[in-house]
Amino acid sequence: MAQIDSLFVTRLYRANLSEHGPKIDPDEMENSCLVIAEDDEAGQDWCEENGYPGYTSYASLTDLPWRFPIFADLVKSLDAHVAAFAKDLELNLDGRELKLEDLWINILPEGGTHASHIHPHSVISGTTYVSMPDGASALKLEDPRSAMMMAHPPRNKDARQELRTFVYQAPKVGELLLWESFIRHEVPLNMAEEERISVSFNYAWA
């Protein structure tokens, strides 16, 4: 009898933020993101100059945990989730650690998108979701083998999730997703009338 195995598995971690670390109040987190975005003139200028829809603090602020205590609590929670994911991935860290490298806010208005990209200098990347109104974009993840498929026929629309070229994840407020940083991902068009707010991050091998 034929044997068919799944090889080279790509893992996706999904959990409630509150499963590890301090409890994060979603309303306080949302208010903190909005206050920071309103005050961050350098970030607003960068978004306007680079045609970025909405707001991101990626290019302007590197000290969110220092500015607002809730972000310091968030980092404690993320550290624990990332450690759990690294254990699942069976990573041999050789006595070193995965440490937070970047942490930034994303506020995407109606009609906004975030183009497909990877995080090439990191090991684990992720996002926690602060506001996900009805119609807000799911996260779109791409099979990392797709660039090598060349003459490969498309998958059936109802293919098993692990065989699909693209997988969509629609998290709830208070959830986070973690994936290995080589996974290409994007945020499709936001169809919600309200803003989609999230906090993204990278962990590097230090």
Residue 23, strand partner residues: none
List, as own/partner pairs, every contact residues 141-149 make where C-beta atoms lie below 8 angstroms and the sequence separation is at least 24, other chains included. Answer: 141/12, 141/166, 141/167, 141/168, 141/169, 141/179, 141/183, 141/184, 141/185, 142/116, 142/166, 142/183, 142/184, 142/185, 142/186, 143/10, 144/10, 144/182, 144/183, 144/184
pTM attached to this predicted model = 0.94
Distances (CA, A) of 109 to 38, 45, 112, 115, 164: 14, 17, 5, 15, 29
Sign of the dihedral through C-alpha 62, 66, 70, 76: positive
**Tell me: the pLDDT tens digits for 9-54?**
899 999 999 999 999 999 999 999 999 999 999 999 999 999 999 9
What pLDDT does residue 180 have?
97
Span 150-192, pLDDT tens digits: 788 989 999 999 999 999 999 999 999 999 999 999 999 999 9
The separation between CA 148 and the C-alpha centre of its own chain, rounded to angstroms, equals: 24
Q: What are the pLDDT digits (tens) for 118-130?
A: 999 999 999 999 9
Distance CA 143, CA 7 (A): 13
What is the pLDDT confidence band of residue 109, given thresholds at 50, 70 and 90?
very high
Pick the CATH number of 13-205 from 2.30.30.90, 2.60.40.1260, 2.170.130.30, 2.60.120.620: 2.60.120.620
Angle at 20 between CA 13 and CA 122, to 5 degrees: 45
How remote is the C-alpha of 97 from its chain's centroid? 20
